[in-house]
């Protein structure tokens, strides 16, 4: 039996006696402290044929509709868009603005991360999460053709930062949105922080500056908090807007969240919404300050990303030339 099979067999045996949450916490412990841990997992993912960018990414849906885009949303997981800015998006739709939503991960980690789960179960989970996300957004008139998924592993965005930059570059260049929304960096979830860092850094490199960030949850602000606030920051921020949500709007938000049945998040329908203009230039400072990954593990990720971000635009241009 190869090393991948041995690891899967070991985790399966452990899972008979230990809850998935415990396994996830153990994985998180090593991920945030051991530099080579995610490199090892990435080898397993490739070997199993789960994640081979760009054509073999579990749950990837990138049949891009290049028509008018007023608002482009980046959400790490299906349901983050509604929890973070569901009312904001509803108000954009009331003005007949065209919204497109990008789920960065496939949302497969609810019952354990995809790299050690059965492939068919992980695939079904990815399809379910996308389906739930599409149904939720349909309630405010966002069409399925305007909902994409990069297909990155839930809990593993840090392993695919360069690939994320290529996709973000293509989306910004091709869709040319009037406004972009993305998570803030706040230490609530690694995927949120990595998505925020990648989007803001890439937009800064592209010279696209109309980026807004939204707060969600972090250790001092649990999910479902009604009056949400951004973490204090050493970086100057302007234009913070706390959204006053009416009871009718809360009903709409609750209905949207109810379609994410696998997540049970409709109980958080009173989650508040606050947005602000994002500072793009120094997002690495926030990442080092708030992301739960240790500095020793973050540093090579950030340096590699910043060194290669220039080539993401070249990669997009090269792929376009080959497709002509």
Cβ contact 291:187 at 8 Å: yes
Q: What is the pLDDT of residue 322?
A: 47
Assign 3-state DSSP to the chain and report helix, strand, coil percentages, each to 5.
50, 15, 35
Residue 107 sits in a domain whose CATH number is: 3.40.50.10320
Cβ contact 71:61 at 8 Å: no
Q: What is the pLDDT of residue 241?
A: 96
H helix or E strand, kind and range, residue 175: helix 161-175
Cβ contact 187:193 at 8 Å: yes
Is omega for the bond preceding 54 within 30 degrees of 0, making it cis?
Answer: yes
pLDDT band at 142 (very low <50, low <70, confident <90, very high): very high
Domain that holds residue 107: 3-323
Lowest average pLDDT, out of 7-11, 131-135, 196-200, 276-280, goes to 7-11
pLDDT per residue as tens digits for the range 88-105: 999 999 999 999 999 999
Q: With 50 as the cut, is the pLDDT of residue 323 above it?
A: no
Domains of the chain: total: 1
pLDDT per residue as tens digits for the range 162-192: 999 999 999 999 999 999 999 999 999 999 9
Query: For the chain, what is the mean pLDDT?
Result: 90
Q: What is the pLDDT of residue 5?
A: 62
Give percent of the chain above pLDDT 70. Answer: 87
Coil, helix or strand at residue 80: helix
- In 14-159, DSSP assigns E strands to 51-52, 56-57, 71-75, 99-105, 147-152
Lowest average pLDDT, out of 38-42, 159-163, 318-322, goes to 318-322
Mean pLDDT across the stretch 98-126? 92
Q: With 70 as the cut, is the pLDDT of residue 145 above it?
A: yes
Phi, psi of 64 (to 5 degrees): -75, 130
Q: What is the pLDDT of residue 306?
A: 87
Mean pLDDT across the stretch 77-86? 99
Least Cα distance to 274 among 235, 230, 224, 320 occurs for 230
Q: What is the pLDDT of residue 22?
A: 76
pLDDT per residue as tens digits for the range 207-262: 999 999 999 999 999 999 999 999 976 455 568 999 999 999 999 999 999 999 99
pLDDT per residue as tens digits for the range 15-67: 555 556 677 788 888 888 998 999 999 999 999 999 999 999 999 999 999 99
Q: With 60 as the cut, is the pLDDT of residue 133 above it?
A: yes
Mean pLDDT across the stretch 151-155? 97
Q: With 60 as the cut, is the pLDDT of residue 8 above it?
A: no
What's CA 228's distance to the chain center, in Å?
Answer: 19
């Amino acid at each position: 039996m190869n090393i991948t099979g041995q690891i899967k067999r070991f985790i399966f045996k452990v899972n008979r006696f230990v809850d998935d949450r415990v396994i996830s916490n153990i994985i998180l412990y090593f991920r945030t402290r051991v530099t080579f841990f995610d490199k090892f997992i990435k080898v397993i993912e490739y070997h199993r044929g789960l994640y081979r960018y760009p054509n073999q990414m579990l749950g990837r849906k990138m049949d891009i509709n290049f028509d008018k885009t007023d608002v482009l949303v980046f959400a790490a997981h299906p349901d983050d868009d509604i929890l973070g800015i569901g009312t904001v998006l509803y108000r954009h739709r009331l003005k007949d603005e065209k919204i497109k939503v990008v789920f960065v991960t496939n949302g497969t980690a609810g019952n354990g991360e995809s790299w050690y789960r059965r492939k068919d179960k992980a695939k079904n989970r990815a399809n379910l999460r996308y389906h739930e996300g599409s149904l939720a957004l349909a309630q405010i008139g966002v069409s399925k053709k305007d909902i994409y998924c990069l297909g990155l592993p839930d809990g593993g965005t840090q392993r695919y930062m360069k690939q994320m930059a290529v996709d973000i570059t293509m989306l910004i260049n091709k869709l040319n949105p009037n406004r972009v929304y993305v998570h803030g960096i706040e230490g609530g979830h690694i995927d949120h922080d990595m998505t925020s860092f990648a989007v803001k850094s890439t937009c800064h490199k592209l010279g696209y500056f109309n980026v807004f960030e939204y707060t969600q949850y972090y250790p001092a602000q649990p999910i479902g908090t009604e009056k949400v606030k951004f973490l204090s920051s050493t970086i100057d921020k302007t234009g913070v807007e706390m959204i006053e949500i009416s009871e009718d709007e809360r009903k709409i938000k609750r209905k949207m969240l109810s379609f994410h049945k696998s997540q049970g998040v409709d109980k958080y329908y009173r989650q508040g919404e606050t947005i602000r203009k994002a500072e793009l230039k120094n997002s690495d400072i926030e990442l080092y300050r708030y992301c739960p990954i240790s500095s020793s593990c973050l540093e090579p990720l950030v340096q590699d990303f910043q060194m290669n971000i220039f080539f993401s635009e070249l990669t997009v241009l090269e792929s376009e030339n080959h497709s002509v």
